[in-house]
Structure 1
Amino acid sequence: MRIEAPALEIEAVSHAFGRRVALDDVSLTVPAGCFTALLGPNGAGKTTLFSIATRLYNNRSGAVRIYGHDIRRTPSRALAELGAVFQSRTLDGDLSVRENLAYHAALHGLSGRAVRARIEALLERVGLGERIGDKVRTLSGGQARRIEIARALVHRPRLLLLDEPTVGLDLASRTALIAFVRELVRSEGVAVLWASHIFDEVEPEDAVTVLHQGRVVASGTAALIGAGDASLQAAFRRLTAAPAKEEA
């Protein structure tokens, strides 16, 4: 029986900005159809890692593979499987919701009636079908985040990367957003890498990688990482209080 490749494999990736090392020999795996959390304090290297995985930055060392496709050797095939939502807002506020999603579809070579139907279906799925003609600048922060996720799904990727997606959202919007993403994993088999520093967004059975000062300092399920401490949060504090070279 054929074994499906992991949704994302990052292998021995390092990256520096001048003399500052942002990532140091980082490796992690996101299994297909699973929710994986990437935890780290500000400045840990999470956004840099996402930038490499989405090819905004070129990885000069190591390898990044999306469903077995190396992003340097076959970038088009790799990125076709990937949807991403970055921490900073990337929607065009002067365009309508429909126009933002249609533009993204066009970048992937998609157009026509089927894409229009896909956009309408995704907006209904995130509960914003009635806002399809509205300018993005009229949306709340939580609504804009849901639109960004809908946009990331337009081309039917099998892997979704979300970098601190709940930053700035109120509790109700944050809870609804993570519930929606988890439902995508359960119902559609979308693999998710969820970067955050908010511990109640992580469930005990989730796979977790802890990143600190550009290095992986722990990897395993949330329950396993937190087993030797009072909680995952306590384990995180211990792991990120010590220099990264003193890996636990």
Structure 2
Amino acid sequence: MKHYKITLSSDDVPTQWYNINADLPVELPMPKNSEGKDQIASLQKAFTKAGLEQEFSQERYIKIPNEVRELYMKMGRPSPLFRATNLEEYLNTPAKIYYKREDTSPTGSHKLNSAIPQAYFAKKEGVERLTTETGAGQWGTALSLACNLLDLDCTVYMVRVSFDQKPDRKNIMNIYNGNVYASPSENTEIGRQILAENPDHPGSLGVAISEAMEEALANDEVKYTLGSVLNQVMLHQTV
């Protein structure tokens, strides 16, 4: 008999994340800026201490805090595992192919897996507000919900063209108490500079990142978060 779906109980949510940094043949170098100078000082101002520790950690297993694990369960983990039998037949392969259903999350994607711990560690460190960028809106939605769960303010800079094309995404973030701004915006120096040169600028992820980062660097009670690229994000996805 073929098993098309595998479901686990809440007790089966992992208690540790798996850190692939430990599998690398060499230790990760410290970050440098465009001039080749050490950038760790500016990163410490923008990111949480826990986030940076995870970013460069060489430990293979990192404990998931009980509060984060509890929120994972409340948000629907473990998610179901499905067997792709039609794909197996199409490929005519003896391999058994499975895929993880991350779309069952209340935000519709895997991104909540990292938004929750990033918001949790920020709250533990006394941060009052998180800033971030979002393109299509999935990461902004996930962080808005995570901040709502942990009683943090959330500011999202959404690429202007997506902001205009996807009003429903903005509405969902607002429902989760996220404050969403079309980027470039008048909120930041970089946003104002870009709008002065081109009032109809469509925006980009680079611009939105710059705006969110500027806010974090200018305010001691604010930290910046990112939903991709970082090692810590990859770590959180191993749940």
Q: Rg bigger for which structure?
A: 2
- Report the TM-score, using the length of structure 1 for normalisation: 0.33
**Could you say which structure has the higher helix fraction?**
2
